[in-house]
Amino acid sequence: MMEWQISDQDIQAVEEILLPHGAQFPEDARNVIRCWHSTNVAACPGSGKTTVLLAKLKLLADRMPLENGAGICVLSHTNVAVNEIKNRLSDYVDRLLSYPNYIGTIQSFIDRFVTMPYLRNVSGRNVQVVDGFTYAQHMLSKIECNKKYSALKYIIELNFKPGNQFKTKIDYIQALYIRGDGDLCIGKQHKSLASAKKLSAEQYKKLLIDILKEEGIIRYQDAYTCAQIAIDKLPTEYTDFFSSRFQYVFVDEYQDCNNIQRQAIDSIFDSTKCVVFKIGDSDQAIYNSEEDTTPDWVPQSGFLSLMTSCRFSQEIADVVCKLKRDDKGIVTLVGETGVKPVLLIFSPEKIDKVITGFISALEAYGLSDKNGIYKAIGAIRSENASGLKIGSYWSEFDGTAKKKSEYNYWTLVDEIVRSLSNGKLYKTEQIVRKLLCRVFHYTGIRNPTSGKDYTPATIKKVLEDKYREPYRQWMYEMSTLQKNDRQAVNQVVRKKINELLKINNPETTDIFADLPEHFLDESAVISYTNLLEKNVLIDPTRGRRIVFDTIHGVKGETHDATLYLETDRKGASDLSRILHCFGVGKQGNSTLYDYSRKLAYVGMSRPKKLLCVAMQAKTYEKAKKVFEHEWEIIDLRDGTEA
């Protein structure tokens, strides 16, 4: 494939659309924009990779339609690309978002073009993904009604004892699974129930196939496994078709792809027949837990770099780059500002001084805008965790808090839109149950067994027992919506809730007419969410909002100032595990060391203007003054600067 020649005038035209007036792309960004062959792109935090991607999409849009009716494919883990195109390339929306182009989530693409076609081929019918409890009901029914599962039935009856762990046989069956070695296992028990060659294990595997073929349903976790099988069985003609349909393929945040997603992308798109760009930062691969076996992405030789950060000062960059695996420098457009990162040293008995120390640092550096973005972040939010956690620094922190969106209809609808856009039907189903609970609450429909309001857990059983088919149909319709927007979801939700209620009460017309105005108040969504938003400390001196969050929760964000909070996991702190990055000691063998490094890299690369790190005294003392040169040390133990 011939590469296009991108002129300086082409790049200047893109700069005028996407960059602030007078701003220009740095040279490394220009190199990526000019590249039109398959390659990997390693991008540092704040490098503007989304803007570079938009620049390439704008240049492609100028050349559409492409040769032989080919299109472009843009894949990420969220629909951020779609939103950015709508917001920043509004004049090109129709060209970029219409056939033959595909712009959406990686998982939705794999489900649509790989897993579901394979399952339809295997089962001879359309297949629906269902939750584990519904699936276990089907399993139990088949086990008890068919002798060909007699060995499986025997082992279940032999081992199932009603108790705290498994209250019902359905709960027990739901916890059954086939381990990697083929053994039949239950829950978290290390010892298997039956080895891979035993008849009961074979019958369990056969049962899953029978349910797929005879009833057309599959569990979420099995759909994941089927994707692996489907990828292995992809015919050459199928992959050739995709490599010709999509001439240009962009995979954003590639470091967060799991093994199956990576294999799918490599199998579907032949990088010798179409142009494949894999864009990411392997040091930001934090979505897989520290126990995950997915290897970190290593860009292939000849990769391009986006190592000029537009986000932070050189002082922050010099600290952050020490946390990179390759320890390569990051150059910033901002340059040096004279503001060093701040290290707040505290003793356990004076941990409450950390937040006031952060506020004092904001004051000292003139960060007084009450509309600025100030966040305090840590790795551990669980209130039950031992040692340091986010709540250790601020007693008001609620580790279980999510926005109380169930108290407004439209915020719940928006949550449904987001989960559908991210290809996560299981989350959609959970939100729908929350929504039903609120509707029933306001209309006085209560659980007849307990006389109390329904909860998402108790309403689940009712939906499965009484409304299984219409509820399954509802979820199916949600998953096949042509447009995942507020209006479309609202129409389906209202229609389906009324249909469900009509089953018991045919005289039901529109239950929404009986709901209170405040619950349905569309204009109150933002203000009500902010009002109920937990984990926000209002600084009494300036009215600044300091938001407490997890490192995972702020990935991809940019802050004015960030306070990184030291937290403990498995007997040691995250900061003690990264001291080797700064020249103290050696990296331990546990995977937690590298995981902690990546968490720190993500967390400490969020701020534009000021990075603060709260470090307990014992960690600081172990560091042997290694932080003295590049950090401003503020000792909160006696209130003095070091």
* Alpha helix positions (H), 286-424: 314-320, 353-364, 390-393, 409-421
Annotation: binding site: 43-50
Nearest to 41 by CA among 327, 349, 261, 249: 249
**DSSP type of residue 194:** B
Phi, psi of 592 (to 5 degrees): -65, -25
Which residue is it, tokens 């290694």? 626
Residues 418 and 523 occupy one common structural domain: yes
Residues 544 and 518 occupy one common structural domain: no
Residues 380 and 439 occupy one common structural domain: no
Residues 322 and 300 occupy one common structural domain: no
Task: Convert 96-147 into a string of H (helix), E (strand) and C (coil).
Answer: HCCCCCEEEEHHHHHHHHHHHHHHHHHHCCCCEEECHHHHHHHHHHHHHHCH
Which residue is it, tokens 């089953």? 503
Q: What is the pLDDT of residues 449-480, one digit of tens each?
A: 777 778 888 888 888 778 888 888 888 788 77
Residue 220 included in any domain: no
The number of C-alpha atoms within 13 Å of 142 and in the hemisphere containing its C-beta is: 20
- 75 token code pair: 């894949």
pLDDT at 595: 92
pLDDT higher than 70, residue 1: no
Query: Among the listed ranges 42-51, 80-89, 91-100, which one has the minimum average pLDDT value?
Result: 80-89
Residues 396 and 540 occupy one common structural domain: yes
- Kindly report the number of other CB atoms within 10 A of residue 331's CB atom: 14
Asked if 253 and 79 count as a contact pair (C-beta separation under 8 A), the reply is: no
Q: What is the pLDDT of residues 427-436, one digit of tens each?
A: 788 889 989 9
Asked if 514 and 443 count as a contact pair (C-beta separation under 8 A), the reply is: yes
- Kindly report the number of other CB atoms within 10 A of residue 550's CB atom: 17
Annotation: binding site for ATP: 43-50
Nearest to 372 by CA among 19, 48, 613, 609: 609
Query: Where among 288, 309, 330 does a domain terminate?
Result: 309
Residue 2 included in any domain: no
Asked if 144 and 255 count as a contact pair (C-beta separation under 8 A), the reply is: no
- pLDDT category, 613, cuts 50, 70, 90? very high
pLDDT at 456: 83
Q: What is the pLDDT of residues 375-423, one digit of tens each?
A: 999 998 877 788 999 999 998 887 765 444 446 788 889 889 888 877 7
pLDDT at 288: 60
Q: What is the pLDDT of residues 574-604, one digit of tens each?
A: 999 999 999 888 888 888 999 999 999 999 9
Residues 197 and 279 occupy one common structural domain: no
CATH number of residue 23's parent domain: 3.40.50.300
pLDDT at 184: 93
Residue 175 included in any domain: yes
- 199 token code pair: 């008849």
The angle subtended at Cα 448 by Cα 446 and Cα 449, nearest 5°, is 125
Asked if 610 and 342 count as a contact pair (C-beta separation under 8 A), the reply is: yes
Residue 578 included in any domain: yes
Residues 374 and 288 occupy one common structural domain: no
Q: What is the pLDDT of residues 152-204, one digit of tens each?
A: 999 999 989 887 678 888 889 989 988 878 899 998 788 889 999 999 999 99
Domain count, the chain: 4
Q: By residue range, what is the domain housing residue 139? A: 128-215
pLDDT at 528: 40
Query: Where among 215, 243, 266 does a domain terminate?
Result: 215
**Contacts of residue 627, Cβ cutoff 8 Å, sequence gap at least 6:** 343, 582, 620, 633
CA–CA separation, 429 and 220 (whole Å): 12
Residue 426 included in any domain: yes
Residue 629 included in any domain: yes
Residues 199 and 102 occupy one common structural domain: no
What's the distance, Cα to Cα, between the start and end of the chain in Å? Answer: 60
Question: pTM of the full predicted structure?
Answer: 0.72
Share of the chain above pLDDT 70, in %: 95
Query: Where among 275, 309, 343 does a domain terminate?
Result: 309
